[in-house]
Amino acid sequence: MEEKLEYPYQHRDINWLSFNDRVLQEAADESNPLYERLKFVAIFSSNLDEYFRVRVSQLRQLKRVDKSLRKKLVLKPTKFVKQILAKVGEQQNRLGDIFFDDIVPQLADHNIHLLDKNQVAGRFINEATAYFKEHLQDIVKTKYVQASKTSDIFLENQHLYLIVTFENEKHYGVVNIPSQDHKRFIELASNDDKHYIVFLDDVIKSQLDQLFPDEIITGRYSVKLSRDAELYIDQELDGDLADRIYASLGQRQQGQPTRFLYDEDMPKEVKRNLRKSLALGKIDMVPGGTYHNFDDFFGFPDPTNNEKLHAQPLKTIRHRSLDDSSSYFPIIKKRDQLVHFPFMSFDYVQRFIDQSATDPDVVEIKISLYRVADESALTDSLLTALKNGKKVTVFVEAKARFDEENNIKWGRIFEEHGARVIYSYPRIKVHSKVMLVLRKEKEKLKRYAYIGTGNFNAKTSKIYCDHGLFTADKNITKDLKRVFEVLQGELIIPRAQHLLISPFTTRRTFEDLIRKEIESARAGKPAAIIAKMNQLEDPGMINLLYQASQAGVTIRLLVRGFTCLVPGIKDMSENIMMTSIVDRFLEHGRIYKFHNNGEPLMFMGSADWMSRNLDRRIEVLAPIYDDLVFKELDDILELQLQDNVKARIHTTQEDNPYVQDDQESLRSQDAIYQYLKDIHKS
């Protein structure tokens, strides 16, 4: 069959909204415990905020490009932003229906009553007034602004405010809702086992007459302004990049507005004045409901302590080889070991670092940190290693968005205690999750490695599904040594023979492996690719997948987030089946498997098939050489491919239909947990 040369692509930012749709499906799913549904409400809101601050902001930056150049480059940022706003509007309406018409009544059925503003200002006004006087009056601030298009008004990034209108139309009142300094949800009263909870916003609304005693109030409207999250730093300037990043973090509070979320009942004249005063375009104005920042539902209280309203906690699985061992080194030396989060505890990684810090034969530890936990046993162990005279090298990614400040803080702490700390490089991020330990054994240095799909972060390990490989394989650890030599500025090209290392060998190796499957299919031999990742965006990889499909290669993709590939097109991508699993835990592992003429190859690591992961980041993926580890990952992949409960199909319409087949119901995260329990006899 002749290959088609023009391939279809979905716009990544439009397609990302389909991923958030899947999150919304989980919020609507009545089979989920009620507080799990609230968690997905919060995730949906949090995702959307970051999306506007990062992706929509970048689209807005394209508008600054000269119009004639935009036309040549086929850039249509305004068109895409309009499509985004239309889709987001639909999603927000669905969110409102799910929350107010379904979740809130079900909370009431369990004696948890979320009061509205009228109930607070009426039946519960005495409780609201007492609470305000005791807890809020010193942190709630008011300000008058002129009701004009040039009024002096500044709204802090992501903070909540009330715009108050008066009978005197010459000015407005601006009132902060201090949710950064105070809990968003307040239990105002309880009786007869009934609990009455209220938004912080509504307690403040009930006191507006006291806050503006000389005014007749005609309206009160919630607003929130999101600002560009990018730090615009010239990374080629001389000087310390980390210092410049740290000094520039305040830009986020002053950045260009990307979304003004307002109560849709706000009068047109007020909206017009605010838009002009805040230097917003019409496209920046996004109507919403009475309440914003639904990500605060991560902290919604349960005064009933009803276990049935929550997901049941998992009993962590004990690793069959590592759990009772006081030293991992002989175990890892004997054969590779694999750990899985959140089904297993992140303590296995922390213990390995702790053992390395205290083992008298360990001489050096090298580690790359992308998102450093604020306080953790891991950071304590690294400080212990320094105290015990170990040589410690830490690469800290100072450009990890929203974690810059904490990462740089810890980098400086490590430096103060004697570590060699290397910060970000210009124009490239270090996204790999790797550690190398050098141990003296029989007068020689033996290398031990950890290569993961997720960050060295105990907190996120409880909510992200990730895998971590411990290995002492000479070939893998030799390549990893070269990775750290690149990070330390001692090598330019690592010349790896086994590891896939971006931006050096990952793209070329994956392209060669896909082409090999194409050759097999054309020769009439079995050919297959299974790939699990977070996002699929790189045009080169997508083109090859289209070509592989046309050649007859069976392609099975698990893509949790957005994809630019369009599956299921006749004579183009009909051999590509792509699903997405959204469930209790965030699928985060990256695993790639190739049939390879009956001698399958598998890789696991930190890189998605995105241009940034292949070309603009330091990424590491490990080949799976150990037979038991290979089988373990392969079995896990197979369970995810069989998911027909929480898996949705990526279709040409991206309408997120659930997988439906005639097989017995299989929810892969539950099945994987049971599988790991069985093989580890936990």
What is the band of 238 on the pLDDT scale with cuts at 50, 70, 90?
Answer: very low
Length of the chain: 682
- Annotated catalytic, 431? yes
- Model confidence at 402: pLDDT above 70: no
Structure-model confidence comparison of residues 669 and 74, the more confident one: 669
d(CA 136, CA 645): 46
Binding-site residues for ATP: 47, 464, 560, 588
What CATH number was assigned to the domain covering residues 502-679?
3.30.870.10
Binding-site residues: 47, 371, 401, 464, 560, 588
Fold of 329-495: Endonuclease; Chain A (3.30.870)
The per-residue pLDDT for 235 is: 44
Structure-model confidence comparison of residues 243 and 482, the more confident one: 482
Provide, rounded to the nearest whole percent, the portion of the chain with pLDDT above 70. Answer: 89
Instruction: Using DSSP bridges, classify how beta strands 160-166 and 171-177 pair: parallel, antiparallel or unpaired.
Output: antiparallel
Scanning the structure block, which residue is given the tokens 């602004």? 145
C-alpha closest to that of 630 among 336, 321, 328, 320: 336
Catalytic site residue from 319, 431, 650, 680 = 431
The per-residue pLDDT for 295 is: 94
Binding-site residues for Mg(2+): 371, 401
What is the band of 397 on the pLDDT scale with cuts at 50, 70, 90?
Answer: confident
Max mean pLDDT among 358-372, 425-439, 602-616 falls in 602-616
What is the band of 234 on the pLDDT scale with cuts at 50, 70, 90?
Answer: very low
What is the band of 231 on the pLDDT scale with cuts at 50, 70, 90?
Answer: very low
- pLDDT digits 0-9 by tens, 54-107: 777 766 654 554 555 445 444 466 778 888 888 999 999 999 999 999 999 999
The per-residue pLDDT for 5 is: 58
> Rounded mean pLDDT of 315-329?
95
Give domain limits for the chain. 12-304, 329-495, 502-679
> Any idea what DSSP says for residue 170?
T
> Rounded mean pLDDT of 19-42?
97
The CB density around residue 89, as the number of other CB atoms within 10 Å, is 14
The per-residue pLDDT for 17 is: 95
- pLDDT digits 0-9 by tens, 157-214: 889 999 999 999 999 999 999 999 999 999 999 988 999 999 999 999 999 999 999 9
The CB density around residue 679, as the number of other CB atoms within 10 Å, is 14
Identical fold between 12-304 and 502-679? no
d(CA 256, CA 229): 9
- Model confidence at 4: pLDDT above 70: no
The per-residue pLDDT for 406 is: 67
The per-residue pLDDT for 77 is: 65
d(CA 469, CA 323): 15
Q: What are phi and psi of 224, to 5 degrees?
A: -150, 140
d(CA 250, CA 229): 10
The per-residue pLDDT for 374 is: 67
What is the band of 399 on the pLDDT scale with cuts at 50, 70, 90?
Answer: low
What is the per-residue DSSP string for 277-323? HTT--GGGEEEE-S---GGGGGG---TT--GGGSPPPPPPPPPTTTT
What is the band of 50 on the pLDDT scale with cuts at 50, 70, 90?
Answer: confident
> Any idea what DSSP says for residue 354?
H
Burial level of 2, CB count in 10 A (0-12/13-18/19+)? exposed
Fold of 12-304: polyphosphate kinase like (3.30.1840)
